[in-house]
């Protein structure tokens, strides 16, 4: 289980190696993403709090990167942080997420991105619930919820 020290080490010393890499031009991303998805994931934008459709969804499933389809989070680690964005306590696997220091907006935060395609997802903070204490605060427009079938 990752904790805040792990996140800081990744941001300061280098990220885990992803299982694969996907790289496209802005034109290629624009062809497959909505304007809001492109602005958020490729230009490091954000959506208004409480505006994303995934903010209040808690059905079983996986949360995949809207750009490349990589699995990022599981519904079992999603919780209501009351922040207005979907929040998770852990990535689905250690190398799913890339971490970088973000000094925009007059503060220092840790930006989280898809480690496969570098899509901006949101930020991680050390104010989440136990046991990890992490809050991955993620834009709905950077995610695709994939339902899990409960019947074989």
Tell me which residues are annotated as active site: 137
Helix, strand, coil tally for the chain in percent (to 5):
25, 25, 50
Q: How far apart are CA 45 and CA 49, in angstroms?
A: 12
Q: How far apart are CA 140 and CA 46, in angstroms?
A: 9
Q: Exposed, middle or buried, 39 (CB in 10 Å: 0-12/13-18/19+)?
A: middle
Residue 26 in contact with residue 114, Cβ under 8 Å? no
Q: How many CA atoms lie within 13 A of 127 on its CB side?
A: 9
């Amino acid at each position: 289980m990752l904790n805040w020290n792990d996140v800081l080490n990744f941001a300061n010393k280098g990220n885990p190696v992803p299982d694969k890499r996907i790289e496209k031009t802005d034109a290629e991303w624009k062809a497959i993403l909505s304007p809001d998805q492109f602005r958020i994931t490729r230009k490091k934008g954000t959506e208004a709090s409480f505006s994303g459709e995934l903010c209040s969804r808690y059905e079983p499933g996986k949360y995949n990167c809207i750009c490349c389809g990589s699995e990022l989070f599981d519904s079992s680690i999603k919780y209501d942080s009351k922040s207005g964005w979907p929040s998770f306590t852990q990535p689905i696997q250690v190398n799913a997420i890339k971490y970088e220091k973000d000094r925009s907006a007059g503060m220092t935060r840790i930006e989280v991105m898809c480690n496969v395609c570098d899509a901006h997802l949101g930020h991680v903070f050390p104010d989440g619930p136990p046991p990890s204490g992490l809050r991955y605060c993620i834009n709905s427009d950077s995610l695709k919820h994939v339902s899990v079938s409960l019947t074989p």
